[in-house]
Amino acid sequence: MDLSAFPYLQGNYAPIDEERDFDESQLRVEGEIPARLVGAYMRDGANVAFQPNHYVYPLDGDCMVHAVYFNNGHVHYKNRWVQTSHLKTERKFGRTIYGSVGKLMEVPQEVIDAGGEPNPVRNTANTNVLYHGGKLVAMWEGGFPHLLNNDLSTVGLYDYEGALQPGDALTAHPKVCPDTGQLISCTQRWDSPNYWVQIFDAQARHLKTIPVSFERKGIIHDLQITENYVVIFYAPAFHSLERAMKGENPFMWEPELGTKVIVIPRDGNSDNMVFETDAFFSWHFCNGFERDGKIIVDYVWINSIPFTQAQGTGVEKQPRRMHRMTLDPSTMSVNDEEFSDVFCEFSRVDERRMGKDYRYGFAASSNRDWGDAHGYNCTGRFDFKTGETTLWEYGPEANAGEPVYVPNPESELEEDGWVMCFVYNPDEGAFLSIINAGDFASGPVAKVHIPGGVANGFHANWMNGLTLQLT
């Protein structure tokens, strides 16, 4: 493949071309692995298998999952492609067949006649990987999730025992309620502007659907839960499949419409609240909770839509900042304040505090300017009690991924857990970084060095209790 025309396929954005398995005799461990952990750190990401027709931002690459398994101080690494129907079709024909969400391509009739995937919209499965209700799934917000075995082998598309209907697209950003174990998710459809909150029980069985009507289909990437509500941002950002099929720019930003904050009761029995504010965009929430009758959400603010069809615009490098928004239902007012001026993205919390008041947020962060393709050379800790932001820098040219909080099985305190993320540093290669959440200034307590590299990717999670012995 000649990837030289695409900045976001250079450096550590370049794809990994092989599947690998390394036991602890092949992994160099620096420092000391927390001895009591049993589970796996897994991260999803875009990893193109064939020369793309269009690649402005890493939204379209085929999915590869990287995993480091922990078992009482022992570690094992493996990575696997998710065997989507689109990837299998391209491998069968040995060439690129499907375009990007920014520039779709018509599927050749010969491919359809030969039994290839007919949908021109690639189900990449590349955005998130989640373990809930005993199910391990790779997720993308434009289609069904893919069910995986614990060893990352692909089972196939998963419809949650019929809860998802043909054409439903399940979000890649559900939230798990720490009190009930419920998975609060949503579906959207390419053929409808509407939005449906979907709630599954702790065993991943569907419980409830809450419909939300819109006049236009917006780009709604994430959701946030509080004790009683689901919160979403309806920014004036829109996508047109018709334009994408014609080769035109399908992304629209209409700031004069402002951004609406939709607050949806989780019980589905009350009317939604709609707050209005100036236009902004956001990929990701950090957390949210209720206090004194108000709803507080922490999220990563972006001034406008951070992607377009044209290459080299730099819109994806515009500032991203941690914000705290306070919604007052008694007055329907919105107070939105910048919490930190640090460039950050991929914000996370201790999942035991999801939807609850909390102290620490974590995010991939940067303390430097970037050239053609931006990245994050730090892990940031955002202390919502003291107002302080603490960065651990891995090196000026390093790339650090989404930080995931891993709880200490012997403590309920946020500061006693660990924060894990994949890092690439030119001086060290690829490694999994493990930082004590309460002692960021001391840096990693351990690094698991991974031969062959781990490309930059998207979202990660800690799969508590998941081991290679369970399939």
DSSP string covering 156-170 = EE--TTTTSPTTEEE
Q: CA nearest 308: which of 104, 56, 124?
A: 56
Distance between CA 120 and CA 43 in Å, rounded? 26
Please answer whether residues 389 and 381 qualify as being in contact, where contact means their C-beta atoms are separated by less than 8 angstroms: yes
pLDDT at 468: 85
Contacts for 92-99 with beta carbons within 8 Å, 24 or more apart?
Answer: 92/116, 95/50, 96/50, 96/51, 96/52, 96/53, 98/122, 99/53, 99/54, 99/60, 99/244
pLDDT at 471: 35
Alpha carbon separation from 330 to 47, 84, 334, 415 (Å, rounded): 47, 48, 11, 35
Which pTM value belongs to this model? 0.96
pLDDT at 433: 98
Q: Give the pair of three-digit tokens for residue 138.
A: 């790779």
The pLDDT profile of the chain, 471 residues, written as one tens digit per residue, is 888 888 889 999 999 999 999 999 999 999 999 998 999 999 999 999 999 988 877 778 899 999 999 999 999 999 999 999 999 999 999 999 999 888 889 999 999 999 999 999 999 999 999 999 999 999 999 999 999 999 999 999 999 999 999 999 999 999 999 999 999 999 999 899 999 999 999 999 999 999 999 999 999 999 999 999 999 999 999 988 888 888 888 889 999 999 999 999 999 999 999 999 999 999 999 999 999 999 999 999 999 998 888 777 888 888 999 999 999 999 999 999 999 999 999 999 999 999 999 999 999 999 988 766 678 999 999 999 999 999 999 999 999 999 999 999 999 999 999 999 999 999 999 999 999 999 999 999 999 999 999 999 999 999 999 998 633
pLDDT at 148: 98
pLDDT at 470: 38
Strand, coil or helix: what is 11?
helix
Please answer whether residues 358 and 289 qualify as being in contact, where contact means their C-beta atoms are separated by less than 8 angstroms: yes
Distance between CA 414 and CA 202 in Å, rounded? 23
Distance between CA 403 and CA 418 in Å, rounded? 10
Question: Residue 247's CB: how many other CB atoms inside 10 A?
Answer: 14
Q: Give the pair of three-digit tokens for residue 264.
A: 């949806």
CA atoms lying within 13 Å on the CB side of residue 243: 12
- The alpha carbon of residue 178 and the mean position of all alpha carbons in its chain are separated, in whole angstroms, by 19
Distance between CA 267 and CA 199 in Å, rounded? 10
- The alpha carbon of residue 26 and the mean position of all alpha carbons in its chain are separated, in whole angstroms, by 29
pLDDT at 247: 83
pLDDT at 102: 81
Longest dimension (CA), the chain: 62
pLDDT at 296: 98
Please answer whether residues 87 and 62 qualify as being in contact, where contact means their C-beta atoms are separated by less than 8 angstroms: yes
pLDDT at 243: 87
Q: Give the pair of three-digit tokens for residue 353.
A: 């505090």
Alpha carbon separation from 433 to 36, 420, 440 (Å, rounded): 17, 5, 12
Number of H helices, E strands in the chain: 3, 34
pLDDT at 321: 98
